[in-house]
Structure 1
Amino acid sequence: MKKLILSFALSMLSLTAFAQSQYEKIMTEKIGKLEACQSLDKFQTLANDFDRIGKKETQQWQPSYYAALAYIQKGRMQMRDGKMSELSVQANAADKYLDQAESIAGKDNSEIHLLRKMSYSLKMMKNPAERYMTDGMKAMEELKKAETLDPGNPRVALIKAEDTYFTPEQYGGSKTKGLEQFKTALEKFNAFKPKTAVDPNWGKSEAEYFLSQTPAK
């Protein structure tokens, strides 16, 4: 009987390990596609894919996190294309998944707070003059929370650099200061190691891109 129990226990461990490896394999594939994505339709497809994974892997916060990131990146692409009326739609969709991720990971997750910052920024950009004191201030609060929870988070440094770089000088921005902050972000990316294979690890290529635009001296 003891041998049967031991055999059953080992079989269950093997099945659990196999399921985990399959989960990581699928997630790694989808994350890679998300980081390389340059299409509104594909962002939507990936958001749907992560949604399906999250419904199956109910104890994992990362699928909901990446679904939110897909909607945020979709909104950022629409913003670059001047489709400002769509930004709140994508931000609201992201918020739903961030709530799901937070319900699993807890409220002290720097990565989730950073995406909330990005979501509020999207909402603000629909009408900055009207929304700065509401969504804009909430975005700043979320960024501060993200940095307080993890000062070494390179994505926090990246988004701070973006904000400085793209904000007009009359409102406190500076391309020169932004580039210095991108250097700081890159240093943090070079020192950063995600806790697992599916934890957030995006953003380094963006810091490298902005620094590559600096004229050589």
Structure 2
Amino acid sequence: MIKLIIAIALFITTLVSAQGQFEQGMGKAFGLWKEGKNQEASDLFERIASAEKNSWLPNYYVALINSTSAFQTNDKEKINTLLTKAQANLDIEMAKNPNNPELLVMQAMIHTGWIAFDPMTYGMTLSGKVAELYAKAEAIAPENPRVVFCKAEFAIGGAKWTGANVKELCKDVERSIGLFATFKAETPFSPKWGLDRANEALKNCK
């Protein structure tokens, strides 16, 4: 009986210690990212992901950092490296949970990165996939502000080719801003980004 109690106590201690290390690591990675040290933050998130297999968040943030970085450069080789990295890490989590709306939005963003990089090559092959991803994410989580905003943002970007009603899409952008105000993140490290982009998009709408 005493051995059993000791074993349980050791298990709980180990679990609490691991959780503490995860939280410390995630906090440090976010700090590096906030300082603009994207590569260092990405590397740390990746190390956390390799140690913490049960959380989808570290690989998600590797994908987010690298995909958003791809939109900030015109260097073709760098864009290719960043988007390939983002996809590789996202694939790990998509294989575990293909119905996570945040991961679906992330996949759509990576595809959008390729479209922006080379619209002639990727526009026809990936635009439909992006629309499908957002439709699936919306069916799963219609009140998720990133789903609503990113879906509208992508449609606005393609409106000159698709003939979509931008006025209606701008209403969706405005609706997403309201959803950001009420959205409850599952954990302290769950995705919260998007409000600043939505506000900027709404300004452009007007």
Sort the TM-score into its range (normalised by shorter chain). Answer: 0.7 to 0.9
CA distance, structure 1, for counterparts of residue 158 and residue 104 of structure 2: 21
Match of 2:185, SS state, is coil
CA RMSD of aligned residues (A): 2.6
Q: 2:116 aligns with which of 108, 125, 140?
A: 125
Q: 1:203 aligns with which of 174, 178, 194?
A: 194
CA distance, structure 2, for counterparts of residue 55 and residue 153 of structure 1: 28
Over 3 Å counting, the alpha-carbon distance change for 1:119 and 1:179 in structure 2 is same
Corresponding residue for 1:98? 90
Corresponding residue for 2:68? 73
- Kept after mapping to 2: 8 A contact 1:88/1:122: no
Q: Which runs of 5+ in 1 are unaligned?
A: none
Q: Which runs of 5+ in 2 are unaligned?
A: none
Q: 2:51 aligns with which of 53, 56, 81?
A: 56
CA distance, structure 1, for counterparts of residue 202 and residue 124 of structure 2: 31
Corresponding residue for 1:152? 143
Give the letter for the 2:92 counterpart: Q
The offset of 1:199, in angstroms, is 1.9
* Count, aligned residues: 206
Give the letter for the 2:24 counterpart: K
TM-score scaled by length of structure 1: 0.81
Corresponding residue for 1:109? 100
- Kept after mapping to 2: 8 A contact 1:75/1:87: yes
Aligned 1:20-59 pairs, distance under 5 A: 20-31=19-30, 33-34=32-33, 36=34, 39=36, 42-59=37-54
Q: List per-residue Cα deviations over 1:153-182 (Å, max 9, x = no partner).
A: 111112123224444546436765554332
The offset of 1:12, in angstroms, is 2.2
Give the letter for the 2:63 counterpart: A
Give the letter for the 2:191 counterpart: P
TM-score scaled by length of structure 2: 0.85
The offset of 1:111, in angstroms, is 0.8
Q: 2:81 aligns with which of 82, 89, 92?
A: 89
The alignment status of 1:184 with 2:175, answered yes or no, reads yes
The offset of 1:88, in angstroms, is 3.7
Moved more, 203-212 or 88-97: 203-212
Over 3 Å counting, the alpha-carbon distance change for 1:98 and 1:133 in structure 2 is same
Over 3 Å counting, the alpha-carbon distance change for 1:132 and 1:212 in structure 2 is closer
- Kept after mapping to 2: 8 A contact 1:166/1:173: no
The offset of 1:95, in angstroms, is 1.0
Give the letter for the 2:126 counterpart: D
Aligned sequence identity (%): 24
